[in-house]
Structure formats: structure tokens, C-alpha cells
Chain A
Amino acid sequence: MTALGVDVGAALNLIGALLRYLSLAFLVPAVLALGYDEPVWPFAVSGVITAAAGVGLGAMTHGRERIGPREGFLIVALVWLLIPAFGALPFLLDEPQLSNPMDAFFEAVSGFTATGATVLTDIDALPKAMAMWRQLTHWLGGMGIIVLAVAVLPRLRIGGRQLLESELAGPQEVERLGATIRETARRLWVLYIGLTVVAILALASLGWSGADPAMNLYEGVAHAWSALALGGFSTKNLSLAAFQPITQWVILGFIVLAGINFLRLYRVIVQRHASLVARDEELRLYLTFLVVGSALVLIEVLAGGFLSGAEAVRSSIFQAVSIMTTTGFATSDYTRWGALALMTLLVLMFIGTSAGSTGGSIKVVRHLLVWKLIRRELTQTVHREEVLPIRLSGAVVDERALRSVVIFFPIYMGLFALGAVLLAIDARRSHLALGAFDAIGAAAACLGNIGPAFGFAGPFGSYEPFSDLSTGVLTGLMWLGRLEIIPVAVLLSRRYWRA
């Protein structure tokens, strides 16, 4: 029946199911709105529309529940487009700052892909429920809607593995945390939820104990959701600068934690395999990068006299960590800092977190493998016949996986360059004062799902000045970055669609 090699109907069917579940998510802001005496109707209506769409899709593609590995690429690509599309409904319906559909979509994509870039110019002005919806989009998208789906939907017993692998990215096979893929996905979400609860309590208690008057349960939930998802949205214009140092340190801790491979984290925390930590090369490199990055930024901040004392240390570390883990929270305006700091932060944008975490960008494990590859290449230049398998934390890495890691780099850099150029060209067309460095920063920040960049799009700024075309480009970059590009490349090849 399908002349195509891919069962589009099945993909749409799954999306329909996901939309039906998404519609439930609107309950949270709806309830909040009731509680805070704000308009409930945007969320109610959005929920209904989403549910209807979900049901409609399901009806249209009835009977096509089975999905195979091939559909995975299409599903992943569509999910990260369609879910935010419906997630943008509340913005479109009732948020004056986001009345432009392009802007609303940008904000929603930024939310679900856990980027954290915003086109809002005044976040403080948002109603509490709307602001919390923004934060919720981060949390839902962080661990991955797809992982959630695999955990929950029985139909995904088949094809679930491929989906999970597309979601959790990284060059290696997904370690099992249980007997089935479903178990693995479930446990990941349990860990995620668990950590979130701990974070909420930690933050909320800071408020209850009086250590931070600005913190309360609402803010605790909002920022815990954003931190665990490594997203970066805040309910405040001043991001974390609005809170006390102690809060910033606590959030920092959770961010670092969330940047670690969740599969590994599960084994260590829940299954108590503490020894894994020592052997894990990716973890060591991740921490090393964090330390070195922080140090470089700190040097510049102190040398240039931008900040001093404890604040300098805290801000430098926080900023470096926030950028590298692709979160995007800010404790001070780093766009004012000197060249070394800015260049370091730019470089950190290209490093990323560990694979299998909620972060984005290139990912530490890829850098690690590429480094090993380069060294092997040099050795093999001298010793041509020597067989040198590449090992990661003791286990041998398959050559095919290595190849895809190597290919990933030029693609990523190429897309980044293309994005930067498009922004630069469009800026001239739309008479926007966009420096080359700022264009580069914006492209990198969106592709890597980081969030704030430089210039006017800095941590306390907004992406609002960009034209619609540029906003579209940036949205595309966020989408591609979250997907780690390859699924889209696959969708673009003719082979995929042929039988």
C-alpha cells in the first residue's frame, strides 16, 4: 500500500498519541491560573485543540500503530516540530509579547528543545501561569518526549530502541538499565523526576528558611524544571541574578549533575556502582573542561577588573558552567567581559555536556573520541600496520560509530557557519546592527541549544530584534541541534523515501 519506503501514516499516528498526552500537560498551567486568579482559557483552549488534533490524527491513521526503525527518523524530526507548534498555542492565544506566530513558535521551540533563548523583552510581566508553562516546556522536553513515549506506550516495544538511540544521541549504544528498552526509558524518567523533586525541595527550602527571600515554592519549581532540563528559561528578567548567591550555588550543583550521562547517573545513584565513576573517561573530561573553562573566564574577569572577590569567582564559574552545559542561566552580564572570557565562552558553546544528558551541543564524548582518533591517526602514520582499536572507558568503540562521530564535526561546523552567514546577510537586509561576533554567537547558541549569546541577545537581553526570517533561521538551528542533525540529513536523502 505504501509506495514510500517509510510508513508516514504510522509516524503521524504516534504523533497523534503524543499530542493527546501533551494536551494533559496544559492542566498544570490551567490549575495554576485558577490558583493565581489568571485567565484559564488560553490553556483550556490549547488543551482542547491539541487533544482534538491528536484524536484527529489518530483517527486518520487508524490501524497504523506499528512503527519500525525507519520511521524513527521521521518521528523524531516531526515530534520536535509539531509538539512545540501546539505548545505555542497559549502564547499565541493570550501573550501580547508573542502575538507574532514566528515569535511564539520560536519561544516554544526554545522551550521544548531546552535552549532557553527568548524573544520576550519583559519576562517579569508574564502572568504566573504563562511563565510556568514556559518552564514546563523545558522540563517536558529536557529528558525527551520520546523517551517518555517509549517508557509509556506499549506499542513502542518494537522500534523503541532506535527511537531511544536517536533521542539520547551520542555515539555509543544505549546501555540497558533493565531487561527491556521500556524499562530503561522508564528508569531514566524516574531518575529525572526524582532529581527534579530533590531540586525543588532544595530550592524551596532555601526560601522557607529565609536564606533567599526571593525564592519560594513557585520559583523553586520553575527553576528546578529549567535547571534539570538544562534549559535556561527563568521567570525573572535578571535570570539568576535576582536570587541570592546560595541559590545560585545550589542550582549550579544541579546543573553540573544534569550534565552527566543519565544512564551512568542511574547506575551510580540507584544501583550504587560507585566504581563506574572512576573509570568513566567522558565524565573526567567533562569535569576537566568545566574546571579549565571556569579558570580561563575567572582569569579574565579578575584581570580586567569586571568583578571582584567572591562574586567574581561565583560568576565566572557559574557562567562557564552554564554555557558549557548548554543551560543558559546567567548571574551577571558577561557580554561586558573581555576578549579572553568571551572567546572562552564561545568555545565552551561548542563543547557541550556528556552524551545521554539533557544538554546539547557537540557533547564531550565526541571531543574525546575525536582526540583519540587524531592520536591514532598520527601513530598509524608511523606504524602503518598496527591495529589500534579505540577504547572508551575500557570498552572498544566500533569503527562505524567512530566514523559517524568524525563526520558530525564538519556538518555541525558547516551548519553553524551557514547559520551565522544567513543571520549576517539578513541583518543587513533588515537594517539590524549585528556584529560578526554577535551573529556567530547567536548561531552557536541556538544550534547548541544554549540560549543566550552575545550583544543584544545576551543573558539579560532578548532575541526580539531579529527579523522574522532570522527568527526562522534560529528556530531551524535549535531544531537541528536538538536532533543532532543526522535525522534531518537522512530525511533529505532520496533513499530514505524510496521503498
Chain B
Amino acid sequence: MSATIGLQALRRNTAGVDVSGALNLVGTLIKYLSAAFLFPTVLALGYGEPAWPYVASGMIVLAFGLVLERVTSRGGVIRAQEGFLVVSVVWALAAWAVALPYLFAEPQLRNPIDAYFEAMSGITTTGATTLIDIAALDQSMAMWRQFSQWIGGMGIVVLALAILPRLRVGGSRQLVESEMPGPEYEPLKTTIRDTARRLWLVYVGLSALMTLILCILGWTGIDDLMTEYQAAAHMFAAMPTGGFSPQPRSLEPFAPASQWVIGVFMLLAGANFALHYRAVVRRASPFRDEEFRLYLAFIFVATAGIFLELLRADIFAAGEGALRNAFVNVVSIMTTTGFATSDFALWTGATSFIFVVLMLIGGCAGSTAGAIKVVRVSLLAKALHREVDQTIHREAVVPLSVNGRIVDERTVRAVLGFLLFYLLLFLGGAFVLAIEEARAGLEAAPFVHVATSATMLGNVGPSLGFAGPMGSMDPYSPFSKSVMILLMWAGRLEIIPVAVLLTRRYWRA
């Protein structure tokens, strides 16, 4: 008995967070990440392009991961507290890893901030670019950009469905319907492993399906532009709701059929992956999910609104073109992907407004989408309604429910807290960008910066004005880009893990 006590006491020696153990896990993950560099290496060899940037990067990343593992001690159980540190650091380091090939061999991304921006935009599946001439990229480099988003998506699936709920970030615990709720005492690593296994199957499965369908469109001649390369490239960006494209004009040059297909898959990618899993494995209808229904409703209403506006402003003639452009772009923005079928920065003020609202709402919880998430918006609306109710009937006890299940007050508070954080960062970001760009002399309407802040925080991608879907973030000053990198990073992690790291209480006992 004394031995057991002794062992336990030994483990609990550190006050505060087990930094060493957390970094050890980070090292392991980074180590695995190095395997990703094989893919562009093979491509480069195949296309006769320089492969050394990828090989070199891969080796450096591998070495770094190994060293980090070696230097830090194999910590005990990784608990929630270490979890915050792990996710924050992993994403920051992964972006650095992804940026290496850009730094080595991409002339447009020589500036470290630009390279890091592009990498962070990839790994957080944002999809905003600082490149001015996308067509000038090597095929392997372009594909590396796409691939970085697919990898980011895999991480995000696990993040959204296993880690963040466990950390109870922003009410995720009760709001995210996951397949593996995971009992509290189960080590985080086990939950992650189990969730990852199941959901990556869905992720890979859908990826394969999408690639196949797109390829078929290419083979049958419906879309001559859709080669295997383009199919894979766009799948890599669509599944994780990323938004990069090797095409300077995004989806515009492709045939309507391809655009519709990509639109549909984006819609699927923006829905809770657990729903897909259940639909396949247990034949449960996703329509039973309240969030999913609301998600579809938002898409429907927004599409209708944009459709009417497009007609009214004579941008498209009534017909399939207008409908397709409305639908695909709405889905793209709402799922925070960022593809565009035409330059909507040139559309009307009303459409811009609708798009910014969609950027703030985001996709479903438990998907690769970002922003506030439909379920939280729905909870906010319910909380609002309850507030009015309770203003009239002071003593009324009105529990809120999601999907038929009561949500406890802690969760409601967490959601409201998250919303305030989001609002704070969104407005603060817009403010800082506006001032900085005014100082730097950039000619742009202030609303552009509002959209930029929203798009970065929500990991959407395109903004308005010069930073629109066919444009680039390049004109922004380095300081602004740094701010945007921070927004992307914080937004992907749902802000709280990053914010927690800034409090003193976290680091002390």
C-alpha cells in the first residue's frame, strides 16, 4: 500500500502544468508530421521539379520532433490542463514545419512572415493567401499547399470531436454530438486515438469519393479542366473546408457540374462528422439532428437572399448560373471553406453583408468548419428568448436544450463566454487592422478590414475589396499579417485554449 502511495506522490511532484510532458507529446506529433513531406517529394520527382526542399524540410522536422521528445521527459497522463498547451503549441509548430518548403524554394514567399502566413492559412484550413501569382508555383509546391490543408483537416477533426469537448471549450462538451464522448477518467490520449480512428475513416472515405467523382467528370469530358491533379488538389482543400486552389480564379474556370459537386461536398464537410459516421455505420438519419437542420436552413435562406440580390443587381441572368453562384459561394463561406465561383467582392453591399454574417456563423460543430458554429448561434438565440421570458416572469426556470437534451448552465455560460471572446477578438482585430493600414497608407474601405478580421478569425479565407476571393492578402503590412496569423491560430483553436495560456492561474499550482 505504501508503494502505491509513493508512486502516486512521485507523479504529482510538479506544481502547475506538466510542461515537459506536454512538449513531449508535441514532439511526438511533430515527428509524425514529417511523414507528410513524402507526398510532395514523390510528386516533385514525378514532375521533374526540385525535390530537395521537401526532403530537407522533412528531415529538419523529423529531427526537431525527435529532439523535442528526447529533451523532455515522458510525462504521465496528459490531462486537460496539458491539453491546452499541447494544442496551442502543436498548431503553431506545425505551421512552422509546413512553411519550411516555402522558405527554401518559393520566391513569392521569401519573407518569413509571408511563408508563415501561408503555412498557418494552410494548417488552420483558412485558405487566405499572400501569393500574388498562384499560377507561377511549381506543381509540387502548389500541391503541397493543398495537402497542408488536408493534413490540417485531419488534425481538426480530432480537435473538434475529441479534444475540445474534453477540454470543455466553449461548451463543446455538451454541444458536440460525438461518437466517443469518452468517460472523464479515460486518458486524453486514448480518447484521441479512438476518435481519430473512427472519424479518419469517414474523412478519408469522403475524400476518396470526392476525388473519384471529380476525376470521372474529367474523364467523361464534362469538365476538361478537371484533371486528376486538379481533382486531388481541390479535394485536399474542400474536405477540410480549407479553400486553397492552384487556380488563380478559384472555381470559376471549372464546369458548372464540377462546381455543383464541390458545393455538395463542401456542405457535407461542414456538417458534424459524427453524423456521417452514424449515417454510414448505423444508418441513422442526419436530419434528426437539430443543428444540421438549422445549418441547412441558414444555407437555404442565404442562398435565396443572394440569388434575389444577384438578379436585382443584374449581375447574373435568372437561371442556373445565378443559382449556382449563389449556392456554391454561400456554402463555401458558411462552411468556412473559401472557394469562389466568381469574384463576389465585386457584387453588391448587401451580398457583402450577408457573406460577413455567414463568416461569423460558420459551420456545424464537430466538422472541419470554423467560426462560432451553428449550434452556438442556436443556443444564443434560445438564451436570448429565455432572457426576455425571464424579464417578464422573474421566477421562471427555463432550462435550455439542444437536440432534445438539457444543457446545463455551466455550458450556457461557457457558450456565452466564448461568444464574448469571439466578439472581442473580431472587433479588436478589425480595429487594429484599420488603424495599422491607415498608418501604412493602404487605400481600402474600412469595411474590408472588418471582413478580413471575420474571415481570419473564422478560418474562412477570402475577404472583400483587394483581399477578395480572386485577390490576395499581400498588400497588408507585416504587422497586420502577424495580427491575422494570430487570429487564424486563435480562431482555429476556438480561442479559449490560447486565452487560458495567458492567465497566471494556468501556470501556477
Touching chains A and B, CB distance < 8 Å: yes
Which residues, 394 to 414 on A, are CB-close (under 8 Å) to B? 400, 403-404, 406-407, 409-411, 413
Q: Is the CB of B446 within 8 A of A384?
A: no
Contacts A378-B500, A384-B168, A436-B447; is A339 near B391 (CB within 8 Å)? no
Interface residues as binary, B375-395 with A (CB distance below 8 Å gives 1, 0 otherwise): 000001001110111111100
| B167: Cβ under 8 A from any A Cβ | yes
Q: Is the CB of B387 within 8 A of A407?
A: yes
Chain B: interface size category: 35 or more
Q: Is the CB of B414 within 8 A of A377?
A: yes
Interface residues as binary, A397-437 with B (CB distance below 8 Å gives 1, 0 otherwise): 00010011011011101000000010011001000000111
A73 to B380, CA, bound (A): 23
Q: Is the CB of B417 within 8 A of A377?
A: yes
A400 to B84, CA, bound (A): 30
Interface residues as binary, B477-509 with A (CB distance below 8 Å gives 1, 0 otherwise): 000000000000000000010011001011000
For the complex, would chain B's binding face be called helix, strand, loop or mixed by DSSP majority? Answer: helix
Contacts A347-B431, A436-B447, A486-B391; is A339 near B439 (CB within 8 Å)? yes
Q: Is the CB of A370 within 8 A of B167?
A: no
| A383: Cβ under 8 A from any B Cβ | yes
**Distance in Å: Cβ of A100 to nearest Cβ of chain B:** 27
| B423: Cβ under 8 A from any A Cβ | yes
Q: Is the CB of A425 within 8 A of B421?
A: no
**Chain A contacts of B392 at CB under 8 A?**
70, 73, 490, 493, 495-496
Q: Is the CB of B387 within 8 A of A403?
A: yes
Interface residues as binary, B418-440 with A (CB distance below 8 Å gives 1, 0 otherwise): 11110110000001001100110
Report which of A70, A400, A425 forms a contact with B349, defined as CB distance below 8 A.
A425
Interface residues as binary, A347-378 with B (CB distance below 8 Å gives 1, 0 otherwise): 10000000000000000000000100111011
Q: Is the CB of A413 within 8 A of B423?
A: yes
Contacts A400-B390, A436-B447; is A382 near B419 (CB within 8 Å)? no
Which residues, 449 to 499 on A, are CB-close (under 8 Å) to B? 486, 489-490, 492-493, 495-496
A456 to B439, CA, bound (A): 24
**Chain B contacts of A374 at CB under 8 A?**
417, 420-421, 424
| B293: Cβ under 8 A from any A Cβ | no
**Distance in Å: Cβ of A424 to nearest Cβ of chain B:** 6
Contacts A382-B500, A424-B349, A490-B392; is A340 near B435 (CB within 8 Å)? yes
A249 to B446, CA, bound (A): 33
Interface residues as binary, A323-359 with B (CB distance below 8 Å gives 1, 0 otherwise): 0000000000000001110010001000000000000
| A180: Cβ under 8 A from any B Cβ | no
A413 to B450, CA, bound (A): 14
**Chain B contacts of A373 at CB under 8 A?**
417, 420
**Chain B contacts of A437 at CB under 8 A?**
445-447
Which residues, 282 to 339 on A, are CB-close (under 8 Å) to B? 338-339
For the complex, would chain A's binding face be called helix, strand, loop or mixed by DSSP majority? Answer: helix
| A381: Cβ under 8 A from any B Cβ | yes
**Distance in Å: Cβ of A305 to nearest Cβ of chain B:** 15
Q: Is the CB of B389 within 8 A of A381?
A: no
Interface residues as binary, B333-348 with A (CB distance below 8 Å gives 1, 0 otherwise): 0000000000000000
| A379: Cβ under 8 A from any B Cβ | yes
A374 to B420, CA, bound (A): 8
Report which of B393, B410, B423 forms a contact with A410, defined as CB distance below 8 A.
B423
**Chain A contacts of B446 at CB under 8 A?**
436-437, 440
A391 to B416, CA, bound (A): 19
Report which of B410, B413, B505 forms a contact with A382, defined as CB distance below 8 A.
B505
A297 to B417, CA, bound (A): 31
Q: Is the CB of A403 within 8 A of B431?
A: no
The 5 A-B pairs of least Cβ separation, nearest first, read: A339-B438, A377-B417, A436-B447, A406-B416, A407-B387
Interface residues of A (CB under 8 A from B): 70, 73, 338-340, 343, 347, 370, 373-375, 377-384, 400, 403-404, 406-407, 409-411, 413, 421, 424-425, 428, 435-437, 440, 486, 489-490, 492-493, 495-496
13 additional contacts, CB 8 Å, given A370-B420, A378-B499? A339-B435, A339-B438, A343-B435, A373-B420, A374-B417, A377-B421, A378-B503, A403-B387, A409-B420, A421-B350, A425-B350, A490-B388, A490-B391
Could you pull out 25 A-B pairs where Cβ atoms are within 8 angstroms? A73-B391, A339-B438, A340-B438, A343-B434, A343-B438, A347-B431, A373-B417, A374-B417, A377-B496, A378-B500, A379-B505, A382-B505, A384-B168, A403-B383, A404-B391, A410-B380, A410-B423, A413-B423, A421-B350, A424-B349, A425-B350, A437-B445, A490-B388, A493-B392, A495-B392
